Amino acid sequence: MTTNECWVYRRRAWALAFCLWIAGAVLIGYAHISLPSQGWGVWISYLMYFLEFWYLLGLGEMHRWFYSLFTRDSE
């Protein structure tokens, strides 16, 4: 694989990971806003803050996974 191909695959992996990440973040945000502000909704809200933090960190891992998917057959 040439250097140019490597950069093309890297950009594609970042673009796909970022699009998927944004779609997931919108769904998580919508679910978070839809929770009731009393009772069990408060506890689920705290749990979602924790999960949202790990979802933010998952962007780099999604990029790595897509990059390895794109480059698995190119040698």
Pull the structure tokens for residue 71: 């480059």
User: Both tokens of residue 67?
Assistant: 């990059």
pTM: 0.72
The residue segments making up the domain with residue 22 are: 3-71
The answer, yes or no, to whether residue 47 has pLDDT greater than 80, is yes
Task: Quote the radius of gyration of the chain (alpha carbons, Å).
Answer: 17
Instruction: Report the phi/psi class of residue 35: left, alpha or beta, with left for phi > 0 and alpha for psi in -120 to 50.
Output: beta
**Number of domains observed in the structure of the chain:** 1
If you average pLDDT over residues 5-12, what whole number do you get?
A: 88
Q: Compute the C-alpha angle 68/66/33, nearest 5°.
A: 150
Per-residue pLDDT tens for 10-44?
898 999 999 999 998 898 888 888 888 888 888 88
pLDDT attached to residue 51: 85
pLDDT at residue 22, as a whole number: 92
